[in-house]
Structure 1
Amino acid sequence: MLNPRVRALIRSRKWAKKDWAIAAVGLSIILVALYSLTGSLRRAPLPYDLTPTAALVELTLLRNARDLGALCLDGSAPGYHFQRGYGSGSSNWVIHIEGGGWCDSLSSCSSRAGTALGSSKYMDKQVPFSGILSNQPSENPDFFNWNRVKIRYCDGASLAGHPESELKGHRLFFRGQLIWKAIMDELLSAGMSGAKQALLSGCSAGGLATLIHCDDFRELLPKVTTVKCLADAGFFLDEKDISGNRTMRSFYHNVVQLQGVAKSLNQDCVTKTEPSKCMFPEEIVKHIRTPVFLVNPAYDFWQIQHILVPQTSDPNRNWQACRLNIRACSPSLLEVLQGFRGSLLKALSELQEIKESGLFINSCFIHCQTWLTETWHSQNSPRINTKTIAESVGDWYFNRKEVKRIDCPYPCNPSCYNMVFG
């Protein structure tokens, strides 16, 4: 059954803007839930904005992509959406990297190559810009008039694959690192080289890409430019699942081996340990020199469904209702989720001590919160100490105050979107 609020809205033919936003949150989470039920780690939620009132921005395909070798999985040109800034924001840039999981085998990458996550042939020619990309000051108070860019994700390895790993006879292109470099070069030539302020951000696998490329982004811009990075729902944990297996570690190992990702990871880390371990944010943030802000739910439903309770670890389906709806968790299962939250906070302990870093860790059962206005900044947004995510990021970016906001455990925060989609 759908959430009663969403179901009631669907019956209504005249929706207010607020109704559209609430329905969008509900529908996106429902779609993600259904998607995860039929998928695997290879299929992470797609962070598409469903808000119909957001400005639509055209897709731009990378120029000279083939000459540069910067290609999506299927060999098509990668793309991005770009809306120029104006006024006081005309020299400032916010870059947002789309998410959408990873592929860890030739078969999964081949399947992905026939979708928008592996080919620009299937990408929407226009996408709505809302949340952190909105051009409305009421929805995006600090970045609304900046140059805003959404990078489409089509390599399956968080923009970190290398062509040396491509296998002869297979029409698959592992060019994530080249895509990253080529798009950055194109944006630099479009005016980003003169940026006064810049923020690199991303959601889910795009959040991981943000962390991987954060220091490189800093190096691309003038020393006088204020440069910071924001990862949304990209802090994936190296945790055992309920069966005692390290499903995510094994999965990342396959991704790293298949696409040669080790070359894009911190080399000090790679020389000291198994390269796939260096793909986990807990290790990445130990080496980042650029200021980083993390937005993450303590009960990230994608991580719960794929890291803590993958379907293979629950053959008797004891977790089936709980993994889809935190309100359906029994006290004993909720205790396990509280332990998962504890693991997240432990993994963040070093980052909490870094003055330049920022945190917004709420107790919501959700995945990605910066891409949709309703969760980024609105009357109905999740809050910690009365502050929305947008306000918290702005306070941190502009050094208005130190931001280390960690929510109390579920179910203490009534502003959370803990949607029912079972």
Structure 2
Amino acid sequence: MNPSVCFERRKRTLKLLCSVALLALSLSGDADGRKVRGSRAQPRRAQPPAQFRERSEATESFPLDFTAVEGNMDNFMTQVKNLAQSLYPCSAQKLNYDMKLHFLENATVTCNDGTPAGYYMRESKGSRRWLVFLEGGWYCFDKENCGSRYETMRRLMSSTKWPQSKTGTGILSPQPEENPHWWNANMVFIPYCSSDVWSGASPKTDQNDYAFMGALIIKEVVKELLTKGLEGAKLLLLAGSSAGGTGVLLNVDRVAEQLEELGHTGIQVRGLSDSGWFLDNKQYRCTDCSDPISCPPTEAIRRGIRYWNGVVPERCRQQHEGEEWNCFFGYKVYPTLKSPVFVVQWLFDEAQLTVDNIHLTGQPVQEGQWRYIENLGNELRNTLKDVPAMFAPACLSHEVITRTYWMDVQVKGVSLPRALQCWDRSLQDSSKNKSTLKGCPVHLIDSCPWPHCNPTCPTIRDQFTGQEMNVVQFLMHMGFDVQKMAQQQGMDPGKLLGMLSSGS
């Protein structure tokens, strides 16, 4: 059978089946609704496969609420999809939602070792939304530690062993149960192989042992995507975690300017920076600058920006001329940006604590360390208070938007996917009546003062036994003195333990 004819038949059949399914569900709503009224179960969302939707359809992701028959939803929709796939021989093959590897056509834009840079992509023909994700993974700033990085973390400096496909998780997932607002967007994952916080613009030469071309890789990927559907986009979300999160702050305006210069003024460009909002604060214990982990952040970036020939946003560069390293720190570069950016940041970020020389190795934390950790949370709160769109849980962790548990963490009862959806609505409705956004917050920051005082924080495990710890066990493990703290607060120790357990 002709593949295109088969595809069209399969598409029409699936649409018909989905219509029948929706009709059946809606008719069953009144009868079944009485059975489940008052149930605590959460509504599930049905997934119409994006591959079967025509490019001419402008429909974006639509969370469907079938509360009345939620108990049977997964099984029912599975049967519908299985039936559709079995109708024709060409449908029997399991649908593949993985992102596929593409190497850049411009071979002069490379990874550190001169191998071709590239990206992974999953196309969603029915969507005009694009999510471009920048991977994280620290950095190196001189010949010695870059050489060590090449020996121990070659995947982050070379494309030689990249797999041919990659499965998206969290905000990159194609499953609406895991990714309710972005599941059917066009997904692009750019592997980090430039070691320069996505800022470099220097090729590998006889004089330079390594290429540092992070900023150029982003530019080249965007250029290629314009030939693969991006030219018809409505929205491009540049997202990233850790060094990729900082890379978002450094590149989001540059991407917007690139598209505008090429005549694509109708594409809205936004940023989503996860765990890339670092502080240039004084370390708990000062050390020399022998490697990226122990080196004070300001000194590491000073050395790095020279070694990489790093570029920063123009308005930030003008404000910090001669000291462009300042632009790698969120609270300094953010006010200079034109593009809307949503900031996701743990208040007790593990990478920040590491560069500050606070190492949680299983030994009880000394009182001075504990005060330093608490103060870090306060400092982060202060730098984030004027950021209108942000999500900052009081957790000890690092990175979240590509984690499978990213829907579980909440701040003030609101999950991160919900906050991002509210942000999207707030930008769409900016010219409309703000009252329509009541109950849809976008500025979410925990007020409780200790690591993991938020009960929805990711699970903590003992570094030696691997056993899970609750928040009270964790705080005691950290050397938290419940008796002393209760005395300072003027309350019973048992009451304080109860408040900590509940996240109060």
On whether the aligned pair clears a TM of 0.5, the verdict is: yes
SS across alignment from 2:198? coil
Instruction: Compute the TM-score of the two structures, normalised by the length of structure 2.
Output: 0.63
Matched residue of 1:93: which SS? strand
Is the 8 Å Cα contact of residues 312 and 324 (structure 2) preserved in structure 1?
no
For 2:416, give the aligned amino acid.
Answer: I
Contact 2:219 2:255 (8 Å CA) reproduced? no
Secondary structure at the aligned position of 1:129 is classed as: coil
After superposition, the Cα gap between the structure-2 partners of 1:336 and 1:252, relative to the gap in structure 1 and judged at 3 Å, is same
CA–CA separation in structure 1 for the residues paired with 2:412 and 2:340: 23
Residue 143 of structure 1 corresponds to 182
Residues 262 and 224 (structure 1 numbering): CA distance in 2 closer, same or farther, change over 3 Å?
A: closer
Structure 1 counterpart of 2:317: 267
Would you say 1:414 and 2:455 are equivalent positions? yes
Instruction: Map 1:357-376 onto structure 2 (within 5 A).
Output: 357-374=388-405, 376=406
**Closer, same or farther: CA 116–244 of 1 in aligned 2, 3 Å:** closer
Q: How many residue pairs are counted as aligned between the two chains?
A: 340
Q: Which residue of 2 aligns with 1:340?
A: 376
Q: Give, in whole Å, the separation in 2 of the partners of 1:367 and 1:176.
A: 22
Q: What 5-or-longer segments of structure 1 have no aligned partner?
A: 1-53, 312-318, 323-327, 352-356
Instruction: Give the secondary structure class of the aligned counterpart of 1:137.
Output: coil
Instruction: Please state how far the C-alpha of 1:335 moved relative to its aligned partner.
Output: 2.4
Is residue 2:141 matched to residue 1:108? no
After superposition, give the CA deviation of every residue in 1:78-132 in whole Å (9 maximum; x if it has no partner). 1211111243xx2111111110011111122234345111110032332220101
Are 1:119 and 2:158 matched, yes or no? Answer: yes
Distance apart, 1:167 and its partner CA: 6.1
Question: How much does 1:61 deviate?
Answer: 1.2
Q: Which residue of 1 aligns with 2:258?
A: 220
1:128 aligns with 2:177: no
Partner of 1:92: 129
- Structure 1 counterpart of 2:370, which letter? L
Counterpart residue identity of residue 421, structure 2: G
CA contact (8 A) 1:262 1:276 kept: no
User: Please, what is the CA RMSD of the aligned residues?
Assistant: 2.2
Map 1:25-36; keep pairs closer than 5 Å: none
DSSP-derived class of the 1:110 partner: helix
Q: In 2, distance between residues paired with 1:243 and 1:364?
A: 22
Displacement of 1:418 in angstroms is: 4.8
Q: Distance in 2 between matches of 1:421 and 1:294?
A: 29
Residue 192 (str. 1) matches residue 241 (str. 2): no
In 1, distance between residues paired with 2:312 and 2:246?
15
Cα displacement string for residues 276-329 of structure 1 (whole angstroms, at most 9, x for unaligned residues): 1222122110200111111110011111112x2267xxxxxxx6436xxxxx54
Residue 70 of structure 1 pairs with residue 106 of structure 2: no
Task: Please list the CA deviations of residues 240-263 of structure 1 after superposition, one character each: whole Å capped at 9, or x if unmatched.
Answer: 111357811011111111011146
Residue 340 of structure 2 is aligned to residue 291 of structure 1: yes
User: Share of identical aligned residues, percent?
Assistant: 27
Q: Provide the C-alpha distance between the structure 1 equivalents of 2:423 and 2:237, rounded to a whole number of angstroms.
A: 12
Structure 2: how far apart are the matches of 1:404 and 1:394?
Answer: 12
TM-score by length of 1: 0.75
**Greater Rg, structure 1 or structure 2?**
2
User: 1:180 Cα shift?
Assistant: 1.6
Shift of 1:420: 2.4
1:84–1:148 contact (8 Å) kept in structure 2:
yes
Report the CA distance between 1:220 and its aligned residue: 3.5
CA distance in 1, matches of 2:99, 2:389: 30
